[in-house]
Amino acid sequence: MADDTEVAEAAAEGIAPEEEERLPFPTARVVRIIKENLTKEHQIRAEVKLAANEFLGDVLKDIAQEMDKEEVFTLNTEHFNRAVKKYRMIEWQQKRINRIKKLLEKQRAEIDEVITEIDLTREEL
């Protein structure tokens, strides 16, 4: 449950106190994290604040459900790290995809070059 300060900050953010109460995290904290990671000045609409908050709640639910699959009673950071692995792998997977795209573009250029050479050879015959 949010304290009075967080409810007041949420009201200043354009979010009704009843709605703030149902969100998984205090909106002011979510907005603060977003703004700290923006390099340019932006105004953040209320629906973005709500969507970000709900998304973070969904991510945490997913992590909790993954940890719940563990057979042990006491969960530790090893279990947590295993549960968050897919989220931490996103950046690595994106880099991998970009490397594959570059490789395929290079191969496409080589294939185009071979096709051009074949066409030139046919014209000479």
Q: Which residues form the domain of 104?
A: 73-125
| 3 phi, psi to nearest 5 deg | -85, 175
Q: Which residues contact 50 (CB under 8 A, 6 or more apart)?
A: 15, 19, 23, 27
Boundary (domain end) residue, out of 69, 89, 116: 69
Burial degree of 49 (CB within 10 A; 0-12, 13-18, 19+): buried
Same domain, 91 and 125: yes
Task: Give the total number of structural domains in the chain.
Answer: 2
Identify the pLDDT of residue 63.
96
Average pLDDT over residues 39-67: 95
Q: What is the pLDDT of residues 60-94, one digit of tens each?
A: 999 999 999 999 999 999 999 999 999 999 999 99
Identify the pLDDT of residue 93.
95
Mean pLDDT rounded to a whole number for the chain: 89
Average pLDDT over residues 20-35: 91
Same domain, 53 and 78: no
Boundary (domain end) residue, out of 69, 89, 117: 69
- Tell me which amino acid residue 73 is: F
Q: What is the pLDDT of residues 2-22, one digit of tens each?
A: 455 555 555 556 778 878 888
Same domain, 53 and 105: no
Q: What confidence category does residue 1 fall into, taking pLDDT thresholds of 50, 70 and 90?
A: very low
